Amino acid sequence: MAHNFSMLDLMNAALMTEGFEEIVAADDGSDEWRLLSRNWPLIVEAELEDGMYSFSRKEAVLLSRQPGLFGFADAYIVPANALHVRRVWVADGRGGRVSDFPWGQDNTRVFVDWADGVVIEYLEAADPSFWTANFSRGVQARLQAVLLNFREEKSAALEMDKQAEIYFQRARTKSSKSRSATEQYKESAYRRARFGRG
């Protein structure tokens, strides 16, 4: 079953579990928001890379500009099937890419200071049940570990990180069971004709 949590929901779950105040709205200026929003992309992307989940990288050109948030002038809606935006860049007019500018994201948009459209690289899962409850709990537990480190409770943070790893391992197991049992390598007709017996 796919998760129904947004980035803000998972951040608030971690905050309330550790006794912090909830984030009322994205970019509310709180230390908690700044701490968790800066760690969110690292936590999610690290697990996507480590977990060997079945996902693919895609690119999309985003042209429908909206007013920005988080101190950015512009916002662009990411495709609905995007799990996580990895990179953002713009064309430099000579066929090259410019990507050395600040940008941000929430669970539905990317934020930049560029009104002429952007190109994003994002992760897309083939399986609609990719964001399982265990994956979401793993992200929440990693966010809790960040909060515990912030309060300098190192041993508690280490224990919470171990708990996150348990949740992620369960999610990885589910992901590997949902993959098809097809062969990784399938011999082509060209190879059979060239190297086969006959």
pLDDT for 94-119, tens place per residue? 878 888 888 888 878 899 998 888 99
Within a domain: residue 196? no
Query: Do residues 20 and 146 touch, judged by C-beta distance below 8 A?
Result: no
pLDDT at 2: 46
pLDDT at 27: 74
pLDDT at 162: 94
Within a domain: residue 198? no
pLDDT at 91: 82
pLDDT-flagged residues of the chain (< 70) = 1-5, 52-54, 125-131, 174-198
**pTM (predicted TM-score):** 0.60
86 shares a domain with 3: no
pLDDT for 140-168, tens place per residue? 999 999 999 999 999 999 999 999 999 98
59 shares a domain with 47: no
pLDDT at 186: 57
Question: Closest Cα partner for 38 from 11, 75, 6, 77?
Answer: 11
59 shares a domain with 113: yes
69 shares a domain with 46: no
pLDDT at 1: 38
Q: What is the pLDDT of the chain when averaged over all its residues?
A: 81
**For the residues of the chain, what is the DSSP string, one character each?**
------HHHHHHHHHHHTTPPPP-STT-S-HHHHHHHHHHHHHHHHHHHHTT-SEEEEEEEE--EEE--TT-SEEEEPPTTEEEEEEEEEE-SSS-EE--S--EE-SSEEEES-TT-EEEEEEEESSTT-S-HHHHHHHHHHHHHHHHHHTT-HHHHHHHHHHHHHHHHHHHHHHHHHS----S----HHHHHHHS--
pLDDT at 152: 92
Percent of the chain with pLDDT over 90: 23
List the domain range (segments joined by +) for residue 2: 1-53+128-176
120 shares a domain with 64: yes
165 shares a domain with 107: no
Burial 82-91 (b: 16+ CB within 10 A, else e): bbbbbebbbe
pLDDT at 196: 66
Query: Do residues 72 and 104 touch, judged by C-beta distance below 8 A?
Result: yes
38 shares a domain with 69: no
